Structure 1
């Protein structure tokens, strides 16, 4: 998880990110002012969470930029923690806040593993019956 924390610290200053963890999931919260669900793309590729987002701006035609504080586009690849399950991830976007819930891989439950006899045992058993004169009848 430290690689994900490091990647979050390298995001642009205009993007605030929080990372939370429970026993069953990670919750990544990204503040993306001006971004909507329609202008964002989120996917998992090769163990990384890929976030692409753009801010739509509707400017009055009589105005030009003198200064712009926040970038128009975010393109980030964030490494997933090794126990995160990207296939079952869920995301919501509300008022420029993207929340991504990444479930953790469940630990395999404890169980007894049955052991079956291989072909060697059948041959050995047959040879034993022949030697002892026990043909199974």
Structure 2
């Protein structure tokens, strides 16, 4: 019985001390407004985010929420179209992680209530699947 308690405490400590990167569940384009990306996390979303334009572009830094007033798990960011590396950290701390894949923000607009990507070469709706 004592072994089970010790094992349970070890699992709980490992969960608390685990990487914060597991906290972000998805990063997706939003069709609500142009050039918007949504970052969804499992807990209240208080991270400070940095979008680094690839390759070797400018950084777009968004401050963290130190004392959140809601229980939102989603934050929206407006960033120019392109490919980015997303890193994040708790406010006033050292970086804690990077989102596992590049974030690609695509231009889009609504056509008949459907989110349609824009082909940057023609500036018209591209014949591809809706933006997620």
Higher relative CO (Cα under 8 Å, sequence separation at least 6) belongs to: 1
Higher strand share: 2
Q: Check whether TM > 0.5.
A: no
Bigger-Rg structure (1/2): 1
Normalised to the residue count of structure 1, the TM-score between the two structures is 0.30
Provide the TM-score with structure 2 as the length reference.
0.31
